[in-house]
Chains A and B, each alone.
Chain A
Amino acid sequence: MKIEDKKRVLREMVLHRRFEERCYQAYIERKIGGFLHLYPGQEACCNGVMEAARPGHDYVITGYRDHVHAIKCGADPKEVMAELYGKETGSSKGRGGSMHIFDAAKRFMGGYALVGGPFPLAAGIAKAIQMKGGDEIAICFLGDAANNQGTFHETMNMAALWKLPVLFVCENNLYGIGTSIERSTAVIHQHKRVAAYNIPADECDGQDIEVVYEHARKAVDHVRAGNGPFFLELMTYRYRGHSMSDSRGYRTREEEELWKQRDPIFIVRDRLIKEGAMTMADFEALEKETDAYIENEVIKFAEESPEPRVEDLEKYVFADRESQLPWLTGKAA
């Protein structure tokens, strides 16, 4: 990666990290409800892959740990935060919440709460791309535990059979809630599993964005060139608990510390410092600036935004009635 790109991505990753940490605080303050799945520790995965892809152009779909993926695709952090606050200005108008961020205009096709649910949806998006003949690809980010669902196997089979332009990115953070991969999955290296479907696969360190970027570039190129699906496994770690009520009793603090020594943000920062492209003071200033932005714009926007109106409770269940009248009444125009 070029120095300029690295500097830009570092800025983005700092935003992603601080955004998530601020969510944690807002949750404690009871401003955010429901389940809240945070991303710190895994930033190099989404950022590395999307640097190799085309955010806003390629279609992205993921699970419930979805704020950063949405923002990386171009969703406005203000709207994402407003969504977490359940506000009408939220990216899903307050109807979705943390696990259901959507920004269709930015081709972020959503976060879904059922583990494994997005696999076939991603293949379907790829099928639509194939039919329409665009140069987009579909990218499906999911965790390792999702691969034990039937949808994983059903989708790998169909994606390979029909050569669909879809990239599966497995963010292997070693845990599905509180169950370690050793205890849930017969094969720890997930990329090996898709060999059974004739899908080319690759694995790499998910902490170092430059490594992710290099591997992702090949994966993205493979899919975009019309060769069908690709499976990329990124070895990573989430710092926080699975969701908010998780005290992480299922893993040791030593293990966590070990992974924090390979922090995806610090890896880039230290490299830029070593290359003389920035100083520690620059980095600290960046963090301060980011926090100020989050506080003064993102949180402020969420706080000040209106609630959805109860009169609109049933809006969005079905398509707008007027536009559907010919089919509802049978009187076609």
Chain B
Amino acid sequence: MANIMYWEAIQRAHDEEMARDPLVICMGEDIGVAGGTYKATKGLYEKYGPLRVMDTPISENGFTGLAVGASFLGVRPIVEIMSVNFAWLAMDQMFNSAAKVRYMSGGQLAAPCVFRSAGGAAHQLGAQHSARMEKVFMGIAGLRVVTPSNPKQAYGLLKSAIRCDDPVFINEHELMYNMKGEVPDGEYFHPLEGSEVARAGTDVTLFGYNISVHWCLKAAEILDKQYGISAEVVDLYSLAPLDRAGIKASVSKTHRAVIAEEDEAPVGVGSEVIAIINEECFFELDAAPVRVHSALVPQPYNHTLEKATIPDHEDVVKAVLKMFGKA
């Protein structure tokens, strides 16, 4: 096991897959000579050259579509979209071409592309650089969405996504690139479907994904130590498809659920998880499931206001305490 950073894990997955298959390429703004805004492609340009590590013009929809077209002929492009905010510009090609081409061609063409993008609020980046958009991607038929919460997942999910014949959107987080964690030494493929119990518990399930898993873990600690509440934390690393069986299994055990997301609430991951809980195990509930989410405002620049829009572990603790009648 190597203890490496999230960005290093992503870089390693790129490197291994590019070394294995000459049709794996990566592309995006600043990813080549400059090594990538988050260093996720560091050193690859020197190793694989400009034909396979492509510094693209600032043309999100254009280069995303180019990747999709190349994938029709068996090329395996990994597209980095510098910030998820810019993915709005690429959504036409992601949604109308990549996600639909297999279906509308009756299975003749496929777009095995990987789209990686950094989402989330970092530090005072303002409204146009702080978006969370997983809710938009997870509702598109034909697109898989995964969102790694640690270096092991970042490495293993990218490896699986590159090999998978479906288009996969990988939602990373700006604040996590320097997070360290254990990654297996040998090749490791993380499943693209499913969920993980990140911490076992009996009284309530805290559902999180990506950065909110860490709020949940921290909240679980506090709940256990200070309030004697045993919280199970479930990491929903796959948002499309969501792990119905995993959600049901945990809620059937704890009978309570809190869903923590950095995204805004309307039409979010939380709404979807609660819908699944209602459909799968409504009569096993001891309390109505609750969402912890950010405020529906364009991300303010001001630090105090910014903090007020984004939830954290304390909000998760509060939600649980309220559910147990302790707040």
A contact set with B: CB distance below 8 Å: 59, 61, 90-97, 100, 102-105, 109-110, 112-114, 117, 119-132, 138, 150-151, 154-155, 157-158, 161-162, 315-319, 323-324, 326-332
- C-alpha spacing A287/B326, complex, angstroms: 85
Contact residues of B between 86 and 117, Cβ < 8 Å to A: 92-93, 96-97, 101-110, 112
What total of A-B pairs shows CB separation below 8 Å? 185
Q: Tell me whether B190 and A128 are in contact (CB under 8 A).
A: no
Q: Contacts A117-B96, A330-B156 hold; do A125 and B73 have CB atoms under 8 A apart? A: yes
Closest-by-CB residue of A relative to B73 is: A128
Q: Tell me whether A127 and B75 are in contact (CB under 8 A).
A: yes
Q: Tell me whether B108 and A102 are in contact (CB under 8 A).
A: yes
- The stretch among B57-65, B119-127, B203-211, B261-269 that forms the contact with chain A is B57-65
Q: Tell me whether A332 and B102 are in contact (CB under 8 A).
A: no
Query: Inside 8 A of A327's CB, which chain B residues have their CB?
Result: 160-161, 163-164, 189, 191-192
Query: Inside 8 A of B110's CB, which chain A residues have their CB?
Result: 319
Interface contacts beyond A114-B92, A128-B73, A158-B56: sample of 16 additional A-B pairs, CB < 8 Å, sorted by A: A90-B106, A102-B104, A110-B101, A125-B70, A125-B73, A131-B22, A131-B52, A138-B69, A154-B61, A155-B66, A158-B59, A316-B102, A319-B164, A319-B165, A328-B193, A332-B187
Of A112, A128, A157, A324, the contact of B166 (CB 8 Å cutoff): A324
Closest-by-CB residue of B relative to A155 is: B62
Q: Tell me whether B74 and A124 are in contact (CB under 8 A).
A: no
Q: Contacts A128-B74, A158-B63 hold; do A120 and B69 have CB atoms under 8 A apart? A: yes
Query: Inside 8 A of A95's CB, which chain B residues have their CB?
Result: 103-106
- C-alpha spacing A103/B92, complex, angstroms: 23
Query: Inside 8 A of A124's CB, which chain B residues have their CB?
Result: 65-72, 75
Q: Tell me whether B165 and A324 are in contact (CB under 8 A).
A: yes
- C-alpha spacing A158/B29, complex, angstroms: 13
Q: Tell me whether B106 and A316 are in contact (CB under 8 A).
A: yes
Is B51 part of the binding interface, using a Cβ–Cβ cutoff of 8 Å?
yes
Query: Inside 8 A of A119's CB, which chain B residues have their CB?
Result: 62, 65
Closest-by-CB residue of A relative to B25 is: A131
- C-alpha spacing A123/B69, complex, angstroms: 7
Is B201 part of the binding interface, using a Cβ–Cβ cutoff of 8 Å?
no
Is B198 part of the binding interface, using a Cβ–Cβ cutoff of 8 Å?
no
Of A129, A131, A158, A328, the contact of B191 (CB 8 Å cutoff): A328
Query: Inside 8 A of A317's CB, which chain B residues have their CB?
Result: 102-103, 141-142
Q: Tell me whether A151 and B61 are in contact (CB under 8 A).
A: yes
Q: Tell me whether B106 and A150 are in contact (CB under 8 A).
A: no
CB distance from A327 to the nearest CB of B (A): 4
Is B23 part of the binding interface, using a Cβ–Cβ cutoff of 8 Å?
yes
Query: Inside 8 A of A103's CB, which chain B residues have their CB?
Result: 108
- C-alpha spacing A305/B283, complex, angstroms: 48
CB distance from A34 to the nearest CB of B (A): 12
Q: Tell me whether A131 and B69 are in contact (CB under 8 A).
A: no
Query: Inside 8 A of B57's CB, which chain A residues have their CB?
Result: 154, 157-158, 161
Query: Inside 8 A of B71's CB, which chain A residues have their CB?
Result: 124, 128
